[in-house]
Amino acid sequence: MEKYEAVIGLEVHVQLKTNTKMFTRIPYHYGEAPNTLVDEVVLALPGTLPVLNKAAILKTIEVGSVFGCKIARKTKWDRKNYFYPDAPKNYQISQYDQPLCAGGFVEIELEGPARNIQGKHRKVALNRIHLEEDVGKLTHFTDESWIDYNRAGTPLIEIVSEPDMHSSAEAFAYLKSLEMHLKFIGASDCDMEKGQMRCDANVSIRPVGANYLGTKVELKNLNSISGVCNGIEHEIKRQIAMVEAGERIEQETRRWDAEKNESTSMRSKEDAHDYRYFTDPDLCPIVLSEELIAEQVAKIPELPFAKQERYLHDLQLPYTITSVICFEKPLSDFFEKAMSVYPKNPQAIANWIANDLLREMSNGTSSWEQLKITPPMIAELVQLIDDQILSKQSAKEVFLEMYTSGQSPKQIVKDKGLEMKVDRDALRKLCEEVVAEFPKPVAEFRAGKEKAINVLKGQMMKKTQGKAPVDVIEQLLLEVLKS
Ligand code: ADP
Ligand code: MG
């Protein structure tokens, strides 16, 4: 039996995908030459004033609604004051006591008992989501530090969870779910390597069964989702070892070093009052109308987990396929468009998309924008097979041709002469020939060994070069065998 329970709360910063920065018209893209995406407002030159980016507010309302938060009808801006070169104004515009979104939860899926079996779902409680501006990026060298203000002023949401997770596996599932939902609604690309999503982890331990919270340690510099998990696991072990040795855990911030797999103390805890928060006098409070909030809520598409439940139950798709096509917006859009053209065989459409299409896309460098195959083409391909105009073997060839040329399957089938010939009389004659040529499986079949028919089917496939529909062959073979 474990003696201790870990308690984890995550603070996740996510850059919003807006055209311009939070309080000025300059854009932000990752990877530009340093200090080129800056203007007077970003650099806080004297006399400049912030002007609010409405799109960032609207996106944050959408995000809050996705996670079931209460959206504030009135919200405001606060200055978080600190002196450090990453903030040109010496303060960051943030939200302190009136965040845009409060409460809510993130649904997570824990790893299932096997890859193809759905895992348990649970809800992790959120404390708040507020909007702020990002700061610049410092790079430290041995004897100097460089600053890049490109990122400064980019809209940033901070998603603060309650201390409601208890293992690194839950933290992992939580980050995956955040990433999936935020990408799905186009709020952010959430690329941790590009700093679009950053996570600080708060970790404490307590005796199993206790209902109080232990002293927390905040971990910083967790640069990847696996980094977050390793950092948390290491911290839980470190704290247990300390308590077991009779030591007290001090509230502090520690820096995770992924290479050395260890953390070092950065500073003892700073308090909110250290930041001398106060309402920003340059910006008006925001009052949000019911109509505006309703408009944003109406924009939210069916979300991945709800979609997955629907596909599992209504369409009877296998779990592994649903977890591919429901979790990414372009994929599920593609699937649904194909379905709307040909609703009869969702399983086959899903298979072509999740297996063949994704395989080809990952082999090459094709993106959704460059894709030559359209959803109606997949629908047409599946229908050609279902209507027994195209054999499953030839369909693979048609698919590849369709993928590279963007021609319609019907056209390819015509050009390559791949249409299956279903001349029942001729096929019946061939069946008779096969039955005469292979007495052994025929005798076995007649003696009750039904599987023996497969040998005859194989011979028929050979004779017809795979161009005749298997079920017609089977039907005719049975007729001949029983006559
Ligand atoms: P602070 O005032 O230090 O910023 P907050 O109460 O605002 O602390 O919480 C910051 C983050 O730390 C939240 O994500 C919260 O869930 C988490 N947290 C708070 N207390 C604990 C604790 N005892 N153990 C683990 N996480 C905690
Ligand atoms: Mg706090």
Read off the pLDDT of residues 80-90 as tens digits, 9 standing for 90 and up: 999 999 999 99
Residues 337 and 286 in one domain: no
Q: Is the CB of 239 under 6 A from ligand 1?
A: no
Please give the distance, rounded to the nearest whole angstrom, from the Cα atom of residue 375 to the centre of ligand 1.
47
Residues 320 and 269 in one domain: no
Q: List the beta bridge partners of residue 14.
A: 157, 197
Q: Is the CB of 163 under 6 A from ligand 1?
A: yes
Mark which of 292, 313, 329 sits at the end of a domain: 292
Q: List the beta bridge partners of residue 217.
A: 203, 252
Return d(Cα 14, Cα 338) in angstroms, integer. 33
Q: Is the CB of 99 under 6 A from ligand 1?
A: no
Examine the pLDDT at 369 and tell me if it is beyond 90.
no
Residue 58 sits in which domain range?
4-292
Q: Is the CB of 50 under 6 A from ligand 1?
A: no
The beta strands (E) that lie in 183-261 are given as 197-207, 217-222, 252-257
Residues 328 and 263 in one domain: no
Examine the pLDDT at 266 and tell me if it is beyond 80.
yes
- Which residue of 206, 216, 251, 271 sits with most ligand 1 atoms within 8 Å of its CB, as the best mutation to test the pocket? 216
- Which residue of 198, 202, 243 sits with most ligand 1 atoms within 8 Å of its CB, as the best mutation to test the pocket? 202
Residues 205 and 239 in one domain: yes
Looking at residue 426, its pLDDT comes to 86
Average pLDDT of the segment spanning 354-364: 91
Mark which of 292, 322, 349 sits at the end of a domain: 292
3-state secondary structure of 203: strand
Please give the distance, rounded to the nearest whole angstrom, from the Cα atom of residue 202 to the centre of ligand 1.
6
Ligand nearest to the CA of 161: 1
Residues 31 and 103 in one domain: yes
Task: Tell the residue nearest (CA) to atom 11 of ligand 1.
Answer: 9
Please give the distance, rounded to the nearest whole angstrom, from the Cα atom of residue 172 to the centre of ligand 2.
21
Q: Specify the number of domains making up the chain.
A: 3
Please give the distance, rounded to the nearest whole angstrom, from the Cα atom of residue 159 to the centre of ligand 2.
11
Return d(Cα 422, Cα 389) in angstroms, integer. 9
Please give the distance, rounded to the nearest whole angstrom, from the Cα atom of residue 215 to the centre of ligand 1.
9
- Residue 405, CA distances (Å) to 141, 330, 401, 402, 408 in order: 51, 21, 6, 5, 9
Task: Tell the residue nearest (CA) to atom 22 of ligand 1.
Answer: 216
- Identify the CA nearest to 177 among candidates 257, 122, 245: 122
Long-range contacts of 360-364 (CB under 8 A, 24+ apart): 360/400, 360/403
Average pLDDT taken over every residue of the chain:
94
Looking at residue 415, its pLDDT comes to 93
Looking at residue 1, its pLDDT comes to 60
Q: Is the CB of 210 under 6 A from ligand 1?
A: no
Residues 315 and 281 in one domain: no
Please give the distance, rounded to the nearest whole angstrom, from the Cα atom of residue 269 to the centre of ligand 1.
11
Nearest atom (ligand 1) to Cα of 215 = 23
Residues 76 and 194 in one domain: yes
Return d(Cα 212, Cα 176) in angstroms, integer. 28
pLDDT per residue as tens digits for the range 455-477: 999 999 898 887 787 888 898 99
Ligand nearest to the CA of 11: 1
DSSP string, 272-288: GGGGT-EE-TTS--EE-
Residues 355 and 251 in one domain: no
Residues 342 and 218 in one domain: no
Residues 224 and 337 in one domain: no
Please give the distance, rounded to the nearest whole angstrom, from the Cα atom of residue 298 to the centre of ligand 2.
31
Return d(Cα 153, Cα 22) in angstroms, integer. 6
Residues 370 and 456 in one domain: no
Examine the pLDDT at 111 and tell me if it is beyond 80.
yes
Examine the pLDDT at 100 and tell me if it is beyond 70.
yes
Residues 101 and 209 in one domain: yes
The percentage of residues in the chain with a pLDDT greater than 70, rounded to a whole number, is: 99
464, 428 contact by CB (below 8 A): no
Average pLDDT of the segment spanning 374-403: 93
Looking at residue 455, its pLDDT comes to 93
Q: Is the CB of 11 under 6 A from ligand 1?
A: yes
Looking at residue 200, its pLDDT comes to 97
Q: Is the CB of 217 under 6 A from ligand 1?
A: no
Looking at residue 365, its pLDDT comes to 67
Return d(Cα 91, Cα 50) in angstroms, integer. 13
Q: Is the CB of 397 under 6 A from ligand 1?
A: no
Please give the distance, rounded to the nearest whole angstrom, from the Cα atom of residue 40 to the centre of ligand 1.
36
Q: Is the CB of 162 under 6 A from ligand 1?
A: yes
Chain CA centroid to CA 95, Å: 27
Mark which of 416, 443, 470 sits at the end of a domain: 416
pTM summary value:
0.89
Looking at residue 115, its pLDDT comes to 87
